[in-house]
Protein backbone atom coordinates (compact mmCIF):
# COMPACT_ATOMS: atom_id res chain seq x y z
CA UNK A 1 0.00 0.00 0.00
CA UNK A 2 2.87 2.29 0.89
CA UNK A 3 4.65 1.34 -2.36
CA UNK A 4 1.55 2.20 -4.40
CA UNK A 5 1.34 5.61 -2.77
CA UNK A 6 4.99 6.24 -3.55
CA UNK A 7 4.45 5.37 -7.22
CA UNK A 8 1.46 7.71 -7.53
CA UNK A 9 3.43 10.56 -5.95
CA UNK A 10 6.29 9.97 -8.37
CA UNK A 11 3.88 10.07 -11.35
CA UNK A 12 2.36 13.33 -10.15
CA UNK A 13 5.82 14.86 -9.78
CA UNK A 14 6.81 13.80 -13.34
CA UNK A 15 3.59 15.22 -14.79
CA UNK A 16 4.12 18.48 -12.94
CA UNK A 17 7.63 18.68 -14.36
CA UNK A 18 6.46 17.96 -17.93
CA UNK A 19 3.73 20.63 -17.96
CA UNK A 20 6.12 23.63 -17.82
CA UNK A 21 8.24 22.03 -20.55
CA UNK A 22 5.19 21.56 -22.81
CA UNK A 23 4.00 25.09 -22.04
CA UNK A 24 7.40 26.55 -22.87
CA UNK A 25 7.53 24.54 -26.12
CA UNK A 26 4.07 25.71 -27.20
CA UNK A 27 5.05 29.29 -26.39
CA UNK A 28 8.14 28.94 -28.56
CA UNK A 29 6.05 27.56 -31.43
CA UNK A 30 3.55 30.40 -31.06
CA UNK A 31 6.37 32.95 -31.00
CA UNK A 32 7.90 31.40 -34.13
CA UNK A 33 4.54 31.51 -35.93
CA UNK A 34 4.07 35.15 -34.94
CA UNK A 35 7.53 35.99 -36.25
CA UNK A 36 6.75 34.27 -39.57
CA UNK A 37 3.45 36.14 -39.81
CA UNK A 38 5.16 39.48 -39.10
CA UNK A 39 7.75 38.79 -41.81
CA UNK A 40 5.02 38.01 -44.36
CA UNK A 41 3.09 41.19 -43.51
CA UNK A 42 6.30 43.25 -43.60
CA UNK A 43 7.14 41.99 -47.09
CA UNK A 44 3.67 42.91 -48.32
CA UNK A 45 3.76 46.37 -46.76
CA UNK A 46 7.27 46.94 -48.15
CA UNK A 47 5.66 47.18 -51.61
CA UNK A 48 3.47 50.08 -50.50
CA UNK A 49 0.77 47.72 -49.34
CA UNK A 50 -0.04 46.40 -52.77
CA UNK A 51 0.45 43.36 -54.96
CA UNK A 52 0.07 45.47 -58.09
CA UNK A 53 3.36 45.99 -59.92
CA UNK A 54 5.33 48.98 -58.70
CA UNK A 55 5.19 52.13 -60.78
CA UNK A 56 2.64 53.60 -63.15
CA UNK A 57 0.76 51.62 -65.78
CA UNK A 58 2.94 51.11 -68.84
CA UNK A 59 1.36 51.92 -72.19
CA UNK A 60 2.44 51.40 -75.78
CA UNK A 61 1.32 52.98 -79.05
CA UNK A 62 -1.15 50.12 -79.62
CA UNK A 63 -2.99 51.15 -76.43
CA UNK A 64 -4.25 54.36 -78.05
CA UNK A 65 -5.12 57.57 -76.18
CA UNK A 66 -6.54 55.81 -73.09
CA UNK A 67 -9.08 58.58 -72.46
CA UNK A 68 -11.15 56.22 -70.30
CA UNK A 69 -8.21 55.82 -67.90
CA UNK A 70 -8.13 59.58 -67.27
CA UNK A 71 -11.87 59.52 -66.53
CA UNK A 72 -11.50 56.62 -64.11
CA UNK A 73 -8.53 58.22 -62.31
CA UNK A 74 -10.58 61.37 -61.73
CA UNK A 75 -13.02 59.31 -59.64
CA UNK A 76 -10.36 57.88 -57.32
CA UNK A 77 -10.87 58.33 -53.62
CA UNK A 78 -8.76 61.18 -52.25
CA UNK A 79 -6.66 60.90 -49.09
CA UNK A 80 -7.21 63.42 -46.32
CA UNK A 81 -10.71 64.47 -47.35
CA UNK A 82 -13.53 63.52 -45.02
CA UNK A 83 -17.10 62.64 -45.88
CA UNK A 84 -18.29 64.37 -42.70
CA UNK A 85 -19.82 67.79 -43.40
CA UNK A 86 -18.97 70.81 -41.28
CA UNK A 87 -21.07 73.10 -43.39
CA UNK A 88 -24.00 72.30 -45.67
CA UNK A 89 -22.30 74.17 -48.53
CA UNK A 90 -19.61 71.44 -48.59
CA UNK A 91 -22.08 68.93 -49.97
CA UNK A 92 -21.26 69.96 -53.55
CA UNK A 93 -17.50 69.64 -53.10
CA UNK A 94 -16.84 66.74 -50.76
CA UNK A 95 -15.10 63.63 -52.09
CA UNK A 96 -14.89 60.07 -50.87
CA UNK A 97 -12.46 59.59 -48.00
CA UNK A 98 -9.63 57.14 -48.56
CA UNK A 99 -10.40 54.12 -46.38
CA UNK A 100 -7.57 53.04 -44.09
CA UNK A 101 -7.56 49.28 -43.78
CA UNK A 102 -5.93 46.42 -41.89
CA UNK A 103 -5.75 43.03 -43.59
CA UNK A 104 -6.48 39.72 -41.87
CA UNK A 105 -5.37 36.33 -43.17
CA UNK A 106 -5.19 32.73 -41.98
CA UNK A 107 -3.22 29.66 -43.02
CA UNK A 108 -2.90 26.02 -42.07
CA UNK A 109 0.24 24.05 -41.37
CA UNK A 110 3.35 25.42 -43.08
CA UNK A 111 1.61 27.03 -46.07
CA UNK A 112 3.12 30.47 -45.51
CA UNK A 113 3.95 31.00 -49.19
CA UNK A 114 0.31 30.43 -50.19
CA UNK A 115 -0.82 32.74 -47.41
CA UNK A 116 1.58 35.46 -48.57
CA UNK A 117 0.40 35.26 -52.19
CA UNK A 118 -3.24 35.39 -51.12
CA UNK A 119 -2.70 38.28 -48.67
CA UNK A 120 -0.64 40.17 -51.25
CA UNK A 121 -3.53 39.78 -53.68
CA UNK A 122 -5.94 41.04 -51.02
CA UNK A 123 -3.74 44.12 -50.61
CA UNK A 124 -3.92 44.71 -54.37
CA UNK A 125 -7.70 44.33 -54.29
CA UNK A 126 -7.92 46.82 -51.42
CA UNK A 127 -5.81 49.38 -53.26
CA UNK A 128 -7.76 48.89 -56.47
CA UNK A 129 -10.92 49.64 -54.48
CA UNK A 130 -9.29 52.92 -53.37
CA UNK A 131 -8.04 52.00 -49.90
CA UNK A 132 -4.76 52.53 -48.09
CA UNK A 133 -3.28 49.39 -46.50
CA UNK A 134 -1.82 50.23 -43.08
CA UNK A 135 -1.01 46.85 -41.56
CA UNK A 136 -1.98 43.21 -41.44
CA UNK A 137 -2.51 40.22 -39.17
CA UNK A 138 -1.81 36.62 -40.17
CA UNK A 139 -2.75 33.69 -37.93
CA UNK A 140 -1.85 30.04 -38.18
CA UNK A 141 -4.99 28.08 -37.36
CA UNK A 142 -6.52 24.84 -38.61
CA UNK A 143 -10.12 26.10 -38.71
CA UNK A 144 -11.61 29.59 -38.35
CA UNK A 145 -13.38 30.40 -35.11
CA UNK A 146 -17.14 30.04 -35.76
CA UNK A 147 -17.88 33.21 -33.81
CA UNK A 148 -15.11 35.67 -34.65
CA UNK A 149 -13.05 33.98 -37.43
CA UNK A 150 -9.83 34.68 -35.48
CA UNK A 151 -9.17 33.22 -32.05
CA UNK A 152 -10.09 35.39 -29.09
CA UNK A 153 -6.49 36.36 -28.35
CA UNK A 154 -5.68 37.27 -31.97
CA UNK A 155 -8.98 39.17 -32.29
CA UNK A 156 -8.06 41.27 -29.23
CA UNK A 157 -4.61 41.85 -30.75
CA UNK A 158 -6.31 42.98 -33.97
CA UNK A 159 -8.50 45.43 -32.03
CA UNK A 160 -5.40 47.00 -30.46
CA UNK A 161 -3.68 47.21 -33.86
CA UNK A 162 -6.71 48.86 -35.46
CA UNK A 163 -6.79 51.42 -32.67
CA UNK A 164 -3.03 52.10 -32.85
CA UNK A 165 -2.84 52.69 -36.62
CA UNK A 166 -6.16 54.53 -36.85
CA UNK A 167 -7.80 52.13 -39.30
CA UNK A 168 -11.49 52.41 -40.12
CA UNK A 169 -11.94 49.06 -41.90
CA UNK A 170 -10.78 45.46 -41.48
CA UNK A 171 -10.65 43.26 -44.57
CA UNK A 172 -10.62 39.48 -44.06
CA UNK A 173 -9.04 37.25 -46.72
CA UNK A 174 -11.95 34.81 -46.79
CA UNK A 175 -15.72 34.79 -47.04
CA UNK A 176 -17.16 35.43 -43.60
CA UNK A 177 -20.37 34.00 -42.25
CA UNK A 178 -22.76 36.74 -41.06
CA UNK A 179 -22.20 35.70 -37.43
CA UNK A 180 -18.40 35.87 -37.83
CA UNK A 181 -18.56 39.36 -39.27
CA UNK A 182 -20.82 40.58 -36.47
CA UNK A 183 -18.67 38.92 -33.82
CA UNK A 184 -15.44 40.42 -35.16
CA UNK A 185 -17.02 43.87 -35.55
CA UNK A 186 -18.12 43.79 -31.93
CA UNK A 187 -14.48 43.26 -30.89
CA UNK A 188 -12.57 45.60 -33.24
CA UNK A 189 -15.26 48.33 -33.17
CA UNK A 190 -14.81 49.22 -36.87
CA UNK A 191 -16.36 48.03 -40.12
CA UNK A 192 -15.39 44.47 -41.12
CA UNK A 193 -15.74 43.24 -44.70
CA UNK A 194 -14.61 40.05 -46.36
CA UNK A 195 -12.90 39.27 -49.66
CA UNK A 196 -16.21 38.80 -51.48
CA UNK A 197 -17.55 42.22 -50.44
CA UNK A 198 -14.29 43.84 -51.54
CA UNK A 199 -14.43 42.26 -55.02
CA UNK A 200 -18.08 43.27 -55.37
CA UNK A 201 -17.13 46.86 -54.48
CA UNK A 202 -14.47 46.91 -57.23
CA UNK A 203 -16.95 45.52 -59.76
CA UNK A 204 -19.46 48.20 -58.76
CA UNK A 205 -16.85 50.93 -59.37
CA UNK A 206 -15.71 49.61 -62.76
CA UNK A 207 -18.95 48.47 -64.41
CA UNK A 208 -19.91 50.82 -67.24
CA UNK A 209 -22.46 49.14 -69.50
CA UNK A 210 -26.12 48.86 -68.53
CA UNK A 211 -25.88 45.08 -68.45
CA UNK A 212 -22.66 45.12 -66.42
CA UNK A 213 -24.18 47.42 -63.81
CA UNK A 214 -27.27 45.23 -63.54
CA UNK A 215 -25.13 42.10 -63.14
CA UNK A 216 -23.04 43.69 -60.38
CA UNK A 217 -26.08 45.00 -58.51
CA UNK A 218 -27.69 41.55 -58.65
CA UNK A 219 -24.52 39.97 -57.22
CA UNK A 220 -24.38 42.60 -54.45
CA UNK A 221 -27.98 42.00 -53.44
CA UNK A 222 -27.50 38.22 -53.40
CA UNK A 223 -24.53 38.76 -51.09
CA UNK A 224 -26.37 41.26 -48.88
CA UNK A 225 -29.63 39.35 -48.40
CA UNK A 226 -28.43 36.84 -45.76
CA UNK A 227 -26.25 39.49 -44.09
CA UNK A 228 -28.83 42.10 -43.14
CA UNK A 229 -28.18 43.07 -39.57
CA UNK A 230 -30.68 44.61 -37.16
CA UNK A 231 -29.49 47.69 -35.29
CA UNK A 232 -31.28 48.15 -31.97
CA UNK A 233 -35.04 48.38 -32.05
CA UNK A 234 -35.27 50.08 -35.43
CA UNK A 235 -35.16 46.75 -37.26
CA UNK A 236 -37.61 44.99 -34.96
CA UNK A 237 -40.45 47.52 -35.23
CA UNK A 238 -43.60 46.17 -36.80
CA UNK A 239 -45.92 47.95 -39.21
CA UNK A 240 -49.53 46.93 -39.82
CA UNK A 241 -52.22 48.17 -42.15
CA UNK A 242 -51.04 51.14 -44.19
CA UNK A 243 -48.27 52.19 -41.84
CA UNK A 244 -44.90 52.50 -43.56
CA UNK A 245 -43.85 53.04 -47.13
CA UNK A 246 -43.95 49.33 -47.93
CA UNK A 247 -47.65 48.81 -47.00
CA UNK A 248 -49.86 47.48 -49.76
CA UNK A 249 -53.06 49.25 -48.62
CA UNK A 250 -56.54 47.78 -48.29
CA UNK A 251 -56.64 44.06 -47.67
CA UNK A 252 -53.11 43.99 -46.27
CA UNK A 253 -53.89 44.95 -42.69
CA UNK A 254 -52.56 42.52 -40.17
CA UNK A 255 -49.88 42.03 -37.55
CA UNK A 256 -47.32 43.61 -39.92
CA UNK A 257 -43.68 42.76 -40.48
CA UNK A 258 -40.44 43.85 -38.90
CA UNK A 259 -38.25 46.35 -40.71
CA UNK A 260 -35.64 43.70 -41.48
CA UNK A 261 -38.34 41.51 -43.05
CA UNK A 262 -39.50 44.50 -45.09
CA UNK A 263 -35.95 45.13 -46.30
CA UNK A 264 -35.54 41.48 -47.26
CA UNK A 265 -38.76 41.60 -49.26
CA UNK A 266 -37.62 44.75 -51.06
CA UNK A 267 -34.26 43.17 -51.88
CA UNK A 268 -35.96 40.06 -53.30
CA UNK A 269 -38.24 42.25 -55.42
CA UNK A 270 -35.27 44.22 -56.75
CA UNK A 271 -33.37 40.97 -57.51
CA UNK A 272 -36.33 39.66 -59.50
CA UNK A 273 -36.48 42.95 -61.42
CA UNK A 274 -32.74 42.80 -62.22
CA UNK A 275 -32.99 39.20 -63.44
CA UNK A 276 -35.77 40.23 -65.80
CA UNK A 277 -33.67 43.13 -67.09
CA UNK A 278 -30.66 40.89 -67.73
CA UNK A 279 -32.88 38.39 -69.55
CA UNK A 280 -34.27 41.20 -71.69
CA UNK A 281 -30.73 42.25 -72.66
CA UNK A 282 -29.84 38.71 -73.74
CA UNK A 283 -31.53 38.86 -77.20
CA UNK A 284 -29.36 41.80 -78.32
CA UNK A 285 -26.20 39.92 -77.35
CA UNK A 286 -27.52 36.77 -79.00
CA UNK A 287 -28.29 38.71 -82.19
CA UNK A 288 -24.70 39.99 -82.37
CA UNK A 289 -23.40 36.49 -81.74
CA UNK A 290 -25.66 35.00 -84.43
CA UNK A 291 -24.56 37.68 -86.87
CA UNK A 292 -20.93 36.70 -86.36
CA UNK A 293 -21.80 33.02 -86.66
CA UNK A 294 -23.81 33.53 -89.86
CA UNK A 295 -20.90 35.41 -91.36
CA UNK A 296 -18.85 32.37 -90.33
CA UNK A 297 -16.13 34.56 -88.85
CA UNK A 298 -14.06 32.46 -86.39
CA UNK A 299 -14.04 33.71 -82.79
CA UNK A 300 -11.29 33.75 -80.14
CA UNK A 301 -12.08 34.51 -76.48
CA UNK A 302 -9.35 35.99 -74.24
CA UNK A 303 -9.63 34.65 -70.70
CA UNK A 304 -7.28 34.75 -67.75
CA UNK A 305 -6.51 35.91 -64.26
CA UNK A 306 -7.20 39.54 -63.41
CA UNK A 307 -4.31 41.90 -64.25
CA UNK A 308 -2.62 39.24 -66.39
CA UNK A 309 -2.50 41.69 -69.31
CA UNK A 310 -5.51 40.54 -71.37
CA UNK A 311 -6.46 44.04 -72.53
CA UNK A 312 -2.83 44.89 -73.34
CA UNK A 313 -2.62 41.73 -75.45
CA UNK A 314 -5.90 42.59 -77.21
CA UNK A 315 -4.47 46.00 -78.07
CA UNK A 316 -1.20 44.44 -79.27
CA UNK A 317 -3.08 42.01 -81.53
CA UNK A 318 -5.72 44.41 -82.87
CA UNK A 319 -4.77 47.99 -81.97
CA UNK A 320 -8.17 48.28 -80.29
CA UNK A 321 -7.07 50.94 -77.80
CA UNK A 322 -9.21 49.53 -74.96
CA UNK A 323 -8.56 50.56 -71.36
CA UNK A 324 -5.29 49.26 -69.91
CA UNK A 325 -4.73 49.85 -66.20
CA UNK A 326 -2.35 48.33 -63.69
CA UNK A 327 -5.20 47.34 -61.40
CA UNK A 328 -7.33 44.32 -60.66
CA UNK A 329 -10.62 43.95 -62.56
CA UNK A 330 -9.96 46.97 -64.79
CA UNK A 331 -12.06 45.29 -67.52
CA UNK A 332 -15.61 44.16 -66.78
CA UNK A 333 -17.52 44.78 -69.99
CA UNK A 334 -16.53 42.48 -72.88
CA UNK A 335 -14.89 44.07 -75.92
CA UNK A 336 -14.98 42.38 -79.36
CA UNK A 337 -12.59 43.40 -82.15
CA UNK A 338 -11.69 41.97 -85.56
CA UNK A 339 -8.20 41.18 -86.75
CA UNK A 340 -6.47 38.90 -89.28
CA UNK A 341 -4.25 35.86 -89.22
CA UNK A 342 -0.89 36.09 -91.04
CA UNK A 343 -2.48 34.39 -94.07
CA UNK A 344 -5.23 37.04 -94.21
CA UNK A 345 -8.21 35.25 -92.61
CA UNK A 346 -10.42 37.40 -90.40
CA UNK A 347 -11.37 36.41 -86.86
CA UNK A 348 -12.80 38.15 -83.80
CA UNK A 349 -11.10 38.60 -80.43
CA UNK A 350 -13.27 39.04 -77.31
CA UNK A 351 -11.77 40.47 -74.12
CA UNK A 352 -13.62 39.09 -71.08
CA UNK A 353 -13.72 39.81 -67.34
CA UNK A 354 -10.72 38.55 -65.38
CA UNK A 355 -10.88 35.82 -62.75
CA UNK A 356 -9.39 35.55 -59.28
CA UNK A 357 -8.94 32.92 -56.60
CA UNK A 358 -12.18 32.19 -54.79
CA UNK A 359 -14.20 34.32 -57.20
CA UNK A 360 -17.54 34.95 -55.45
CA UNK A 361 -20.20 32.52 -56.62
CA UNK A 362 -22.63 35.45 -56.84
CA UNK A 363 -20.44 37.03 -59.52
CA UNK A 364 -20.03 33.79 -61.46
CA UNK A 365 -23.80 33.44 -61.58
CA UNK A 366 -24.47 37.11 -62.38
CA UNK A 367 -21.84 37.20 -65.16
CA UNK A 368 -22.72 33.79 -66.54
CA UNK A 369 -24.33 35.36 -69.62
CA UNK A 370 -21.12 37.28 -70.32
CA UNK A 371 -18.88 34.28 -69.66
CA UNK A 372 -20.92 32.20 -72.07
CA UNK A 373 -19.27 34.26 -74.86
CA UNK A 374 -16.23 32.08 -74.22
CA UNK A 375 -18.24 28.87 -74.69
CA UNK A 376 -19.34 29.93 -78.20
CA UNK A 377 -15.83 30.70 -79.43
CA UNK A 378 -13.59 28.53 -81.60
CA UNK A 379 -10.39 29.06 -79.56
CA UNK A 380 -9.75 30.09 -75.94
CA UNK A 381 -6.68 32.31 -75.54
CA UNK A 382 -5.71 31.82 -71.88
CA UNK A 383 -3.46 34.70 -70.78
CA UNK A 384 -1.19 34.03 -67.78
CA UNK A 385 0.96 36.53 -65.89
CA UNK A 386 4.39 34.90 -66.19
CA UNK A 387 5.84 37.37 -63.66
CA UNK A 388 3.40 36.31 -60.92
CA UNK A 389 4.83 34.28 -58.01
CA UNK A 390 2.34 31.47 -58.66
CA UNK A 391 1.40 31.30 -62.37
CA UNK A 392 0.22 27.67 -62.08
CA UNK A 393 -2.14 28.73 -59.31
CA UNK A 394 -3.57 31.36 -61.66
CA UNK A 395 -4.09 28.76 -64.38
CA UNK A 396 -5.89 26.45 -61.93
CA UNK A 397 -8.14 29.26 -60.66
CA UNK A 398 -9.16 30.27 -64.20
CA UNK A 399 -9.85 26.69 -65.27
CA UNK A 400 -11.95 26.14 -62.14
CA UNK A 401 -14.26 29.00 -63.17
CA UNK A 402 -14.33 27.95 -66.82
CA UNK A 403 -15.32 24.41 -65.81
CA UNK A 404 -18.64 25.82 -64.61
CA UNK A 405 -19.51 26.98 -68.14
CA UNK A 406 -21.21 24.36 -70.29
CA UNK A 407 -19.52 23.45 -73.54
CA UNK A 408 -16.19 25.20 -73.04
CA UNK A 409 -14.32 21.98 -72.27
CA UNK A 410 -14.29 21.02 -75.96
CA UNK A 411 -12.80 24.35 -77.14
CA UNK A 412 -9.05 24.36 -78.00
CA UNK A 413 -6.95 26.33 -75.50
CA UNK A 414 -3.78 28.35 -76.14
CA UNK A 415 -1.70 29.36 -73.10
CA UNK A 416 -0.03 32.77 -73.59
CA UNK A 417 2.59 33.54 -70.92
CA UNK A 418 2.38 37.33 -70.91
CA UNK A 419 4.89 39.77 -69.35
CA UNK A 420 7.78 37.47 -70.23
CA UNK A 421 9.94 40.60 -70.63
CA UNK A 422 9.88 41.09 -66.84
CA UNK A 423 9.40 37.46 -65.73
CA UNK A 424 11.99 35.06 -64.38
CA UNK A 425 13.18 32.64 -67.07
CA UNK A 426 13.13 29.68 -64.67
CA UNK A 427 9.48 30.40 -63.88
CA UNK A 428 8.63 30.50 -67.60
CA UNK A 429 10.48 27.23 -68.23
CA UNK A 430 8.65 25.56 -65.32
CA UNK A 431 5.23 26.55 -66.69
CA UNK A 432 6.16 25.45 -70.20
CA UNK A 433 7.29 22.09 -68.86
CA UNK A 434 3.87 21.61 -67.25
CA UNK A 435 1.89 23.22 -70.08
CA UNK A 436 3.43 22.00 -73.38
CA UNK A 437 2.60 24.31 -76.23
CA UNK A 438 2.49 27.48 -74.13
CA UNK A 439 3.83 30.59 -75.89
CA UNK A 440 5.88 33.30 -74.16
CA UNK A 441 4.75 36.80 -75.19
CA UNK A 442 5.16 40.39 -74.06
CA UNK A 443 2.31 42.70 -75.01
CA UNK A 444 4.39 45.81 -74.24
CA UNK A 445 7.41 44.89 -76.38
CA UNK A 446 5.70 42.82 -79.06
CA UNK A 447 7.80 39.77 -78.26
CA UNK A 448 6.11 36.54 -79.36
CA UNK A 449 3.07 38.28 -80.90
CA UNK A 450 3.82 37.00 -84.41
CA UNK A 451 4.27 33.45 -83.09
CA UNK A 452 1.00 33.75 -81.17
CA UNK A 453 -0.89 34.83 -84.29
CA UNK A 454 0.54 31.86 -86.20
CA UNK A 455 -0.61 29.54 -83.43
CA UNK A 456 -4.10 31.06 -83.43
CA UNK A 457 -4.26 30.56 -87.21
CA UNK A 458 -3.38 26.88 -86.74
CA UNK A 459 -6.10 26.35 -84.12
CA UNK A 460 -8.89 28.22 -85.89
CA UNK A 461 -11.29 26.03 -87.86
CA UNK A 462 -10.27 25.65 -91.49
CA UNK A 463 -12.70 26.49 -94.31
CA UNK A 464 -14.50 23.29 -95.32
CA UNK A 465 -15.41 23.77 -99.02
CA UNK A 466 -12.89 23.55 -101.86
CA UNK A 467 -13.65 25.67 -104.95
CA UNK A 468 -12.03 25.84 -108.38
CA UNK A 469 -14.00 28.18 -110.61
CA UNK A 470 -13.84 31.32 -112.73
CA UNK A 471 -15.18 34.53 -111.20
CA UNK A 472 -16.25 37.41 -113.49
CA UNK A 473 -13.98 40.44 -113.40
CA UNK A 474 -16.87 42.63 -112.22
CA UNK A 475 -17.12 40.49 -109.06
CA UNK A 476 -13.65 41.16 -107.75
CA UNK A 477 -15.24 41.76 -104.34
CA UNK A 478 -15.76 38.00 -104.03
CA UNK A 479 -12.05 37.38 -104.65
CA UNK A 480 -11.29 39.82 -101.82
CA UNK A 481 -13.86 38.04 -99.63
CA UNK A 482 -12.14 34.71 -100.34
CA UNK A 483 -8.80 36.18 -99.20
CA UNK A 484 -10.46 37.60 -96.08
CA UNK A 485 -12.49 34.56 -95.01
CA UNK A 486 -10.80 31.59 -96.67
CA UNK A 487 -7.51 30.10 -97.82
CA UNK A 488 -6.62 31.08 -101.37
CA UNK A 489 -4.25 28.71 -103.18
CA UNK A 490 -4.20 30.39 -106.59
CA UNK A 491 -5.75 33.28 -108.51
CA UNK A 492 -5.14 33.12 -112.27
CA UNK A 493 -6.39 35.85 -114.61
CA UNK A 494 -7.86 34.47 -117.85
CA UNK A 495 -9.69 35.95 -120.79
CA UNK A 496 -13.07 35.05 -119.25
CA UNK A 497 -12.33 36.08 -115.66
CA UNK A 498 -10.29 35.24 -112.56
CA UNK A 499 -9.79 31.57 -111.87
CA UNK A 500 -9.97 31.03 -108.10
CA UNK A 501 -8.64 27.94 -106.34
CA UNK A 502 -9.34 28.14 -102.63
CA UNK A 503 -11.00 26.73 -99.54
CA UNK A 504 -13.89 28.83 -98.24
CA UNK A 505 -16.86 28.52 -95.92
CA UNK A 506 -20.13 27.10 -97.19
CA UNK A 507 -21.90 30.46 -97.42
CA UNK A 508 -19.22 32.05 -99.58
CA UNK A 509 -18.95 28.86 -101.67
CA UNK A 510 -22.64 29.11 -102.56
CA UNK A 511 -22.25 32.76 -103.54
CA UNK A 512 -19.20 32.01 -105.70
CA UNK A 513 -20.97 29.10 -107.34
CA UNK A 514 -23.94 31.29 -108.23
CA UNK A 515 -21.81 33.79 -110.17
CA UNK A 516 -19.13 31.45 -111.58
CA UNK A 517 -18.56 31.47 -115.36
CA UNK A 518 -19.19 28.12 -117.05
CA UNK A 519 -18.48 27.70 -120.75
CA UNK A 520 -18.32 31.43 -121.28
CA UNK A 521 -21.49 32.30 -119.39
CA UNK A 522 -22.37 32.92 -115.79
CA UNK A 523 -24.92 30.69 -114.11
Q: What is the pLDDT of residues 22-48, one digit of tens each?
A: 566 666 766 777 777 777 777 777 764
Assess whether pLDDT exceeds 50 at residue 231.
no
Predicted confidence at residue 336, as pLDDT, reads 79
Q: Are strands 257-258 and 238-239 parallel, antiparallel or unpaired?
A: antiparallel
Which of 48-57, 223-232, 390-399, 446-455 has the least mean pLDDT?
Answer: 48-57
Is the separation of the CB atoms in 168 and 191 below 8 Å? Answer: yes
Question: What is the C-alpha to C-alpha distance for residues 313 and 441, in angstroms, rounded to an integer?
Answer: 9
Q: CATH number of the domain at 465-522, please?
A: 3.30.70
Question: What is the C-alpha to C-alpha distance for residues 463 and 503, in angstroms, rounded to an integer?
Answer: 6
CA dihedral sign of residues 423, 339, 347, 401 = positive
Assess whether pLDDT exceeds 80 at residue 475.
yes
H/E run at residue 294: helix 259-294
Predicted confidence at residue 16, as pLDDT, reads 52
Assess whether pLDDT exceeds 70 at residue 255.
no
Assess whether pLDDT exceeds 60 at residue 236.
no
Question: What is the C-alpha to C-alpha distance for residues 511 and 516, in angstroms, rounded to an integer?
Answer: 9
Question: What is the C-alpha to C-alpha distance for residues 333 and 204, in angstroms, rounded to an integer?
Answer: 12
Predicted confidence at residue 1, as pLDDT, reads 45
Three-state SS for 97?
strand
Question: What is the C-alpha to C-alpha distance for residues 503 and 512, in angstroms, rounded to an integer?
Answer: 12
60 pLDDT band (50/70/90 cuts)? low
Q: Which of 300, 162, 163, 380 is nearest to 172 (CA)?
A: 162
**2-53+97-205 and 297-459 in the same fold:** yes
Main-chain phi, psi angles of 348, to 5 degrees: -100, 150
Predicted confidence at residue 331, as pLDDT, reads 58
More confident call, 391 vs 367: 391
Question: What is the C-alpha to C-alpha distance for residues 298 and 463, in angstroms, rounded to an integer?
Answer: 10
Assess whether pLDDT exceeds 90 at residue 160.
yes
Predicted confidence at residue 444, as pLDDT, reads 84
Predicted confidence at residue 446, as pLDDT, reads 86
Is the separation of the CB atoms in 106 and 145 below 8 Å? Answer: no
Mean pLDDT of the chain: 76
Kindly report the CATH class assigned to 297-459.
alpha beta
Three-state SS for 54?
coil
Q: Which of 337, 345, 295, 298 is nearest to 482 (CA)?
A: 345
Q: CATH number of the domain at 2-53+97-205, please?
A: 3.40.50.11060
Rounded average pLDDT over 216-241:
67
Instruction: Characterise 137 by phi-psi region: left (phi > 0), alpha (psi -120 to 50), beta (else).
Output: beta
Question: What is the C-alpha to C-alpha distance for residues 242 and 261, in angstroms, rounded to an integer?
Answer: 16
384 pLDDT band (50/70/90 cuts)? very high
Q: Which of 423, 327, 439, 323 is nearest to 382 (CA)?
A: 439
Strand order in the sheet with 99-107: 131-140, 99-107, 169-172, 191-194
Q: What percent of the chain has pLDDT over 70?
A: 70
Which of 214-223, 368-377, 454-463, 478-487 has the least mean pLDDT?
Answer: 368-377
More confident call, 419 vs 109: 419
Most confident of the following: 128-142, 179-193, 246-260: 179-193
Q: Please list, in sequence order, all residues whose beta carbon lies within 8 angstroms of the beta carbon of residue 194, skipping any fewer than 6 positions away.
A: 171, 172, 174, 175, 176, 181
Q: Which of 321, 308, 297, 391 is nearest to 353 (CA)?
A: 308
Question: What is the C-alpha to C-alpha distance for residues 429 and 438, in angstroms, rounded to an integer?
Answer: 10
Assess whether pLDDT exceeds 50 at residue 234.
no
Question: What is the C-alpha to C-alpha distance for residues 458 and 414, in angstroms, rounded to an integer?
Answer: 11
Enumerate the domain spans of the chain.
Answer: 2-53+97-205, 207-232+258-294, 297-459, 465-522
Query: What single-letter DSSP state applies at residue 98?
Result: P
Q: Provide the strand spans (E) within 108-194.
A: 131-140, 169-172, 191-194
Assess whether pLDDT exceeds 50 at residue 334.
yes
Predicted confidence at residue 440, as pLDDT, reads 93
Q: Please list, in sequence order, all residues whose beta carbon lies within 8 angstroms of the beta carbon of residue 514, skipping any fewer than 6 positions away.
A: 523
120 pLDDT band (50/70/90 cuts)? confident
Q: What is the pLDDT of residues 67-103, one digit of tens each?
A: 454 554 444 444 444 444 344 443 333 334 558 899 9
Q: Which of 191, 198, 182 is nearest to 145 (CA)?
A: 182
Rounded average pLDDT over 488-509:
86
Which of 75-89, 238-252, 473-487 has the least mean pLDDT?
Answer: 75-89
Predicted confidence at residue 172, as pLDDT, reads 93
141 pLDDT band (50/70/90 cuts)? confident
Q: What is the pLDDT of residues 294-305, one digit of tens each?
A: 666 788 888 888
Question: What is the C-alpha to C-alpha distance for residues 113 and 410, in angstroms, rounded to an integer?
Answer: 34
More confident call, 359 vs 331: 359
Main-chain phi, psi angles of 85, to 5 degrees: -95, 130
Rounded average pLDDT over 170-177:
91
Is the separation of the CB atoms in 122 and 196 below 8 Å? Answer: no
Predicted confidence at residue 170, as pLDDT, reads 93
Assess whether pLDDT exceeds 90 at residue 159.
yes
Q: Which of 60, 54, 74 is nearest to 324 (CA)?
A: 60
Please state, in angstroms and as integers, the Cα–Cα distance from residue 320 to each residue in 60, 64, 341, 371, 380, following that order: 12, 8, 16, 21, 19
57 pLDDT band (50/70/90 cuts)? low
Count of helix runs (H) and strand runs (E) in the chain: 16, 17
7 pLDDT band (50/70/90 cuts)? very low
Predicted confidence at residue 461, as pLDDT, reads 83
Q: 267-282 burial by CB neighbour count: b if 16+ within 10 A, else e?
A: beeebeebeebbeebe
Amino acid sequence: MTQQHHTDSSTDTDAAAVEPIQSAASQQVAAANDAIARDVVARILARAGTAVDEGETRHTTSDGDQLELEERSALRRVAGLSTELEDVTEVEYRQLRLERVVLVGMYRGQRTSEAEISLRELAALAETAGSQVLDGVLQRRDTPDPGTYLGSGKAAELADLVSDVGADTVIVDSELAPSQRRGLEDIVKVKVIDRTALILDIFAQHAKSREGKAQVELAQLEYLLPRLRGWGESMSRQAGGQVGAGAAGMGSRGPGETKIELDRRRIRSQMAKLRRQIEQMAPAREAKRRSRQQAEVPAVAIVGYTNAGKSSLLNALTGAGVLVENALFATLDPTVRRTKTPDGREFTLADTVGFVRNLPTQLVEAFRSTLEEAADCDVVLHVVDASHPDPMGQISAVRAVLSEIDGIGDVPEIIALNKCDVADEMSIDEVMAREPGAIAVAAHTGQGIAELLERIAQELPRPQVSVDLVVPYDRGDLISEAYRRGEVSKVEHTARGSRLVARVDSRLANTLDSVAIIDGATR
